[in-house]
Structures are given as structure tokens and as C-alpha cells.
Structure 1
């Protein structure tokens, strides 16, 4: 009996934990969640300034090397690329960030599933080249679709590594890797454009950047998945269900974002598509470079608080209000200075983009609030509700674009912006109130009031101040309008004790780093 019992205890040893699971453990981070989230937010805001400068510089250079007609060929392919990219990720990277606990084998399963989805979408996107060419009546988009499809594999891998870094708030490593990769991708595009490769320079940039991101982030993570035959894919099915709705939301979101470019290319000309895309792209720099990187702080932070509604609401208001403090002044400045900005950054060939830029900039005033709500949906695991909202939003925006296009390109931009501000934003707040701790009152405290102030200021500057300085040189116009925006937001900070404290801490952090 004793011998048998001994043999039994020997043959069934206690399973040892995989040491690689420690990479995904957030226990230590949760003990200092507020402090780490604050430091990470400050770093993201600081490096976002560099990213904004990088992208504005990119626009200024590329716009002078590639005319609107050629740029439109590349822009026509982007909607398909972005939808395929959302499908290739299938929302699985978000599952890595959102789950309370996750281990190495689970993440390995998600990695290979992600890569499989990306491979399928790469083939689908390449095959869509011919239908797209027939739709646009432009055969030059065929090879563009086919070459860009290769980027999906590397984008899927880089997004997986990015989520691993974000889960434990390793924001510095994630953002620096992204910045360096994008700078090198821009360098490739500029060199190719100087060699006369036209829109192929943009295609190369779209391909090179995710390859570099994958390499840099893999080095930072020091993690590689287990081989597919060692992975239990069944354990990842819950994440696939969650990720499926996130992917569905991302697809619908991309369809909505790029629907204007598609309608412009269909109703008008490739040049019109290029103008609309570039105006939307330039106006979207502030949210792209500020809000989206901050998701690496918001989602993991809010995910850790999903079981404590009061703490969740308090953190939501804190994070979104601080993000808006950086985002909204830039958006207001772009709206007020749309004419001189287009003249300075893009040159005379793009002058028709100026009125489009004004309306697109007003649209971006909502980005802080809507992005915050999106992060709240994901942090609470409510991807199904987020998907449902996105489907309704697409229908509403498509209707607005179709109605506006009957009256010209500018009318289409106006209809798009007003629909997003006056219809889809209140709808999103209402849906969030049903499934997350965020009520309309909480949203107003975190974003709504600041957004209303920003819209009023943009209107006053664009229609009251900008006409008074039109006769000045372009740089002088930008200085005057920039000073007006800075003055108003300086007063906004001065009258808020919390904002004064945040600004003081940011300045102290910058000074400490400078002395070091």
C-alpha cells in the first residue's frame, strides 16, 4: 500500500507554472495603477508632440513630391487595406490587454490565430484589386492593392507585440519603437518619391513601417510564441468571441472613416478623393498621435477597474479630460488656421483642401470623447454593444455623405461632420450609459463641456479673427492664431486647480529629465 501510494505521488507531480507567464502578470502594476498610468500618460503626450511633428513634416514633404491626382490612386486603396487590417487582427490583440489574467500559452494561441487571419485577408485583399479597379474605373489600383496586401502579415504581428507591451504599461518601449519605425518608413517614402516613384513611394512606406515595428517590438518584448502544434487553441475561443466583435467594430469604424474618400472617388474624380483624404488625414493627426497612443494607457488601466464602477468613472474623467487638454487646442488651431496651414504644408496644388480641412477639424473635436467611450466599452468587455453602435453609425454617416455629395465635395464634408457631432455622438453616449458605468453626466464632466468650448472657440477664431489677419504672411497668421488659442487654454488651465497641478507635474518631469 505504501509503495503504491509512493509510486502514485511520484508519477503525478504538481504542475510547474510556465516562467514565461510572468511576462503577462499585472499584479505588481495594479498596486501602483494610478501613478503608473499618470507617468505613462505624460510620456505618451510628450512623445506625441514628436509624432505630430513627424507626420506634419511628412505631409509637407510628400505633398510637394506627389500631386493630388497620383495621391488619389493610393488613397483609393486605403479603405480596402484598413478593413482587411481590422479583419486580419480579428480584435485578438485587445483581448490580451482586456483580460484580467492571461498566460503564455493563451497568448501563443492568439498569436497564431492572428497570423492565420492575416494570411487569409492578405489573399482576399489581393483578389479584390480587380473589382476595385472596375469600381473606380482606374486600373492603376490593381498592383497597389496587391503589394500593400503583404503589409497585413507584419501589421498583425506588430499589433500582437504592441498589446503585450501595453498590458503591463510598458508604454515607453511601445511608443519609441513605433516612432523610430515610422521615421524610417517616412525616409524610405521620401527617397522613393525623389526617385520619381510617385504613389509607389507611399506603398513602400505602408509596407516598410509595419516590418520595422514588428522587429523593434519583438526585441523589446523578448517573447516568442510556442510552436502551433504545442498550443491549445480551444482555450482561446473566449478571446476569439470577444475579439470578433472588436474586429467587427474596427471594420465598421474603418468603413465609416474612409467612406468619404470612397464616395469622393466614385462621385467625383481621383483628385477629389485625394483632396478629401488628405484633409481628413491632416485633421486626424491630433487624435491619431495623441488619443490612439493613449489607448495603451486607458484600456489596461480601465480594464483593471472594471469591477469598481466608482473608481472606473473617476479614472475615465481624469484620463479623458487630460487627453482633451492636449488634443482640443491643436484641433481648434487647425480649424482656425486651415487656409494658411494648407498653403504652408501642402502648397498651391492643394488649395481646395482648405475648406475641407476646416470642417474635418471640427469633426475631430469629438475624438477625445468618442475614443474614451470606445475604451470604456472594450475595458468592460462590451464589444457586442460597441459593434451594434458602429453598424448604426455607418448607416447614418453613409446617408449623410450620399445626401451631401449631391451638392458638391464641400457639402459632403459639412454633412459628414454635422452627422457625427449632432447624431452619432449622442447615440454613442446613450449606448455607453446602458452597458458601462459611464453616464451622460460623467461624459459631460470628462469631455462634453470642453468639446463645446472648443467648438465655440474654433468658430470665433475662424470667422472672426482669421479674416482680420489674412493680409499677413502665412507664418504671421499662424503665430497670431496660435497665440489666441494658447491664451484661451492658458486661462482654462489657470482656473482649474486639478489642471494646474497636472501641468506643474508635467513641467517638473520635463525639467528633471533635462537636468539628468
Structure 2
């Protein structure tokens, strides 16, 4: 794919121009397409594994995945984001590579040695070996920081798509083979090992360089100064979407944890498609705009477009969650449907929160992001305990929604206002998509109230979404998409 931005591997002037609209739109198109394809691929993998692995076995793996996700946010340490936003990134590369390798290696050692204690904390001793296996991809995270950042800053989304797709294929094949020979939850961990290893290898091949290590104390201080608040925010952020696993595991059973983990995965589709598509483009695009005023206007344009996608996906899941779960994963996973609806609402807000955090990071406001995440976690813990106690898995989902609306959204709006985002216009950008969803909500209610066969319900819901939302919104989407990357008032 032809790249219009300067080659990040070539020497030359350190300053880079703001990304041009065609480059941003091309990157966004590649990112969106790749996320949709990869999401469909992951969905297929989930369907296959749900037929092979029981809910209680998936609950065991969920323990290991939770630990890996939280510690993985420390391993990255915001180093990749710092490279993406810097003009003088080249002199940072050896120090960042060294710091990333040391951090991820140390955290992998913590997982190996601390696995029995961690598994006991979750009330799942059977997870000990799986946690130790997940230490291998943990060690590989640090090696991935530099090449991943170089690909992201140059918006090489086609290349990233090819790498992620290859990793998905290898990971899936390994997981299925190991599951069929009876390794249970360990099969999921071994699949993750194979996928992560291939990802790192292909990333270095794509940027045409191998790891170069070194240590510059000035660079180290700058990297730590930027990354420490962001690492804290990432740890807290992953804790926010993991603390529910701990509470569910401690108060229910591995089977219930498996059902909840599946529900969270299904409800995260808006985040996976809309949020991740934009995140990889938003950070370099926001970072290279000349000042906060320009960034603020761009933020308003993007937010409405993102909300229009994430909100309609959440709306669909709210109404057809039981049919989605039973058709795709089977009757033994039907208990997950109760949590999908509230978690889908939370998933739509997560997309906006992720966009807000990306914007603040691009502006260099990592401490503000950390503050929001800490406040979020402090509010979520008692809400989650009350939710699970009173409402089970569904209560856990509604706890997320209440905290998101009452605590997190206002906190982000305060910091966005301080970062020159016109908050009133930011919120108004959601008006058209929200109002356009009302006829669809009525239609979905009628469909789910009158039809019984799950496949018929899903077909009718898809048709309603196309006729009542996608077609009426098509002109609005085209206009907003053309505005992405263009430095003009909204």
C-alpha cells in the first residue's frame, strides 16, 4: 500500500507534517476493514471453541487472561504511544526497546512465580498452569513495542491487518489442535503463545529492522515521565474491565465466570470494531495537528461518527442477546445472555471513553487520563459488589453502566473541556445517530416480542437495521467520513 507520510525508517528531518485527509481516511478505511474481518475471525474462533470447551474450562482461562491483560498494560508502559507522538522518535528506539524487554521479562517472571497465589486469589487453583503458560506471550510484549509503534505512526494499517490476520490463523489452528487432543484451557493459552510469537516476528520483518538495544539516560527519563502516568492509567483501565471477573469468580463459580467472560466478549463487539479501528489512527492523527484548537475540532467530528457505529451495535445486542448467544455458541452458554444487554450499553460508552483517552494522550495529558481511571476504579468496586450480589451476572453489567454514566463521562468531559474540546458540540455530535436509532429500537422490540425462532429473529433484526438505520444514515456517514482528517470547523 502506498504511504503518503514520511517513511519512519528513513533518516531526515525530525518534524513531520500533519497527516493529510486522504492518508487518514485510507488508514481509517484499512483499520475499520481489518477490525471487521478480524472480529469475524475471532467470532468464528469463539464459536468453534464454545463447542469444544465447557464454560467452566473457559472460566479457568479467563483467570489467566485477566492477569495477562492487567500486567500486559504495565509491560507496554505507554512506550509505544510515546514513540507515535514524538517527532524525534529515532533516538528513542534503543532505549525504548531495552525498557520494554526488561519490563515484560520481569512481569513474565512474576506470572510464573506468582501463579499459585494468583489462581488462589480467584478461587481457581486449576488456573495455575495456564497462568504460567501465559507468561510466554507476556515476555514477548516488550519486543513488540518498537515495531508496532513504527507501523502505527506511519499508518500502515494494511500491513498491520496482514500481521494480525496471520497471527489469528496460526493462533486458531494451534488452539483447535490442542483443544481436540484434550488440553482444555491450556489450549487457549498455547494458541495465544503461537499467535503472539508470530506477531512479533512479522512486525520486525515489516519494518525491516531487528531489535537494537541501548540506554540513554535522558531518553529514559523522558520515556518514564510520559509513560508512568499512562502505565498507571492502563493498569487501572484493565483493572476496571477485570475487577468484575475477580468479583464474579469469588462470589459464584468457574462456570459462572466462564459465562460472564463470554458475555463480556460478545458485548465488546462495538469496542472491537469501532474503538480499535479509530484508536490506531487517532493517536498519530491528533498528535500531528498543530495545536489543541485544531485537535478539538477534529475530536468533535470523529466522536459523532464513532458513536453512530458503536451505539447501533449496542442497541442490536440489547434486544437480540439471547438469540445471538444461543445461535452462535449453543444452549449451554444461554446463561451469558443476561449480562450481554447491559454490557453492550457499557461497550458503546467504552468506545467514547477510549477515544477521549486517546485524545488526551495525544495532547500529552497522561496524568489526567490516570486520574479518570483511578476515580473510575474506586467508584466501580463497591458498585460491582452490589451489582453481583443483588443481580448476578446482569447486575455486574448494570454496575458498569451506572458508573460509566454517573462518574466516568462527566470526568472525561471536564478534562476534554480543559484540552480545548468544545464539549457542547462534542455531545451534540451524538444527536443525529441517537435519534436515528429510535425507530430501530421500536422495530427490534416488536420483532423480539412477536417472533420466536432465533434465526428468524436475527434475520429480521438485521433487515430492520439496514432499512431503518443504515440506509437513512448513509448520507450523514459519507459527509462525516469526508470530514475526517480535514482541518476545518465542524
TM-score strictly above 0.5: yes
The CA deviation string for residues 184-221 of structure 1, in whole angstroms up to 9 with x for no partner, is: 21121112112221111111122111111101111001
8 A Cα contact 1:89 1:114, kept in partner: yes
Q: Partner of 1:243 in structure 2?
A: 227
Q: Does 1:482 align with 2:485?
A: no
When the two chains are superposed, the root-mean-square deviation of aligned CA atoms in Å is 2.4
Residue 395 (structure 1) aligns with: 378
List aligned pairs for 1:429-440, cutoff 5 A: 429-434=413-418, 436-440=419-423
**Paired residue for 1:205, among 191, 200, 203?**
191
What CA deviation, in whole Å up to 9, does each residue of 1:365-386 have, x standing for no partner? 2133212101111100000110
CA positional deviation for 1:290 = 3.3
439 and 126 in structure 1: CA distance in 2 versus 1, 3 angstrom threshold: farther
**How far 1:235 moved relative to its partner?**
2.4
The equivalent residue for 1:15 is: none
Match of residue 345, structure 2, among 362, 373, 382:
362
User: Equivalent residue for 1:500?
Assistant: 478
Deviation at 1:115, TM superposition (A): 0.6
- Structure 1 counterpart of 2:60, from 70, 73, 76: 73
The whole-number CA distance in structure 2 between the counterparts of 1:431 and 1:457 is 34
The CA deviation at 1:480 is 0.5
TM-score computed with the length of structure 1 as normaliser: 0.86
| Corresponding residue of 1:449 | 431
Which residue of structure 1 aligns with residue 3 of structure 2?
Answer: none
Q: Deviations over 1:149-180 (max 9, x none)?
A: 11112122223311111112122112221122
Give the direction of change, closer, same or farther, for the CA distance of 1:504–1:487 in structure 2 (3 Å limit): farther
Alpha-carbon contact 1:335-1:458 (below 8 Å) kept? no
Q: Displacement, 1:466?
A: 1.3
Give yes or no for the alignment of 1:160 onto 2:108: no
Q: Displacement of 1:459 after TM fit? A: 5.3
Give the Cα separation in 1 of the matches to 2:257 and 2:12.
Answer: 43
Task: Kindly indicate whether the alpha-carbon contact (under 8 Å) linking 1:291 and 1:371 is maintained by their aligned counterparts in 2.
Answer: yes
CA 1:238–1:24 in structure 2 vs 1: closer, same or farther (change >3 Å)?
farther
Matched, 1:178 2:182: no
Residue 143 (structure 1) aligned with residue 129 (structure 2): yes
Runs of 5+ consecutive residues of structure 2 not aligned to the other structure = 1-6, 485-490
What residue in structure 1 maps to residue 401 of structure 2?
417
Aligned to 1:320: 303
Q: 2:268 aligns with which of 260, 280, 284?
A: 284
User: Alpha-carbon deviation of 1:416?
Assistant: 2.2
Aligned residues: 477
C-alpha distance 55-489 of structure 1, shift in aligned 2 (>3 A): same
Alpha-carbon distance between aligned partners in 2 of 1:396 and 1:308, rounded to the nearest angstrom: 33
Q: Are the equivalent residues in 2 in contact too, given 1:366–1:451 (CA < 8 A)?
A: no
Higher mean alpha-carbon deviation, 437-446 vs 180-189, is at: 437-446
With over 3 angstroms needed to count, the CA separation of the structure-2 counterparts of 1:218 and 1:405, relative to structure 1, is same
Deviation of 1:265 after TM superposition, in Å, equals 0.3
Q: 2:340 touches 2:397 (CA, 8 Å); kept in 1?
A: no
For the residues of structure 2 that align with 1:450 and 1:191, how far apart are their CA atoms?
Answer: 47
Residue by residue, what CA displacement relative to the aligned partner does 1:487-514 show, whole Å, maximum 9, x if unpaired?
2323542563xx23467999xxxxxxxx
Distance in 1, Cα, partners of 2:260 & 2:167: 27
Greater mean alpha carbon deviation, residues 409-418 or residues 37-46: 409-418
CA–CA separation in structure 2 for the residues paired with 1:319 and 1:20:
26
Query: Distance between the aligned counterparts of 1:299 and 1:56, measured in 2?
Result: 27
Change (3 A) 1:504 1:261: same
SS in 1 for 2:125: coil
Give the corresponding residue for 2:449.
467
Name the CA distance, whole Å, in 1 between partners of 2:407 and 2:267.
Answer: 20
Whether the aligned pair in 1 keeps the contact of 2:437 and 2:469 (CA below 8 Å) is: no
- Given candidates 21, 27, 39, the residue that maps to 2:26 is 39
Paired residues for 1:22-171 under 5 Å: 22=10, 30=17, 32-103=19-90, 105-171=91-157
| In structure 1, C-alpha distance between the alignment counterparts of 2:94 and 2:12, rounded to whole Å | 12
Q: Distance in 2 between matches of 1:296 and 1:31?
A: 16
Secondary structure at 1:294 match in 2: helix
Partners of 2:60 and 2:127 within 8 A in 1:
yes
| Structure 2 residue aligned with 1:377 | 360
CA contact (8 A) 1:77 1:145 kept: yes
Q: Deviations over 1:263-317 (max 9, x none)?
A: 1000111111111111001111331243224212100000011x42332122223
Give secondary structure in 2 for the equivalent of 1:406.
helix
Query: Matches of 1:294 and 1:21 in 2, distance apart?
Result: 24
Question: CA–CA distance in 1 between the matches of 2:8 and 2:421?
Answer: 36
Query: Do the aligned residues in 1 keep the contact of 2:269 with 2:347 (CA within 8 Å)?
Result: no
Aligned counterpart, 1:265: 249
TM-score, normalised to structure 2's length?
A: 0.91
Measure, in 2, the Cα distance between the counterparts of 1:60 and 1:113: 38
Distance 1:201 1:137, change over 3 A: same
Note the C-alpha offset of 1:463: 4.0
- Kept after mapping to 1: 8 A contact 2:319/2:444: yes
The one-character-per-residue Cα deviations of 1:50-93 (angstroms, maximum 9, x if unpaired) are 11210111111111110101111111222221111111111111
Asked whether the 8 Å contact 2:85–2:283 carries over to 1, the reply is: yes
Is the alpha carbon distance of 1:485 and 1:424 closer, same or farther for their aligned partners in structure 2, counting shifts above 3 Å?
A: same
Q: Tell me the distance in 2 between the aligned counterparts of 1:25 and 1:181.
A: 34
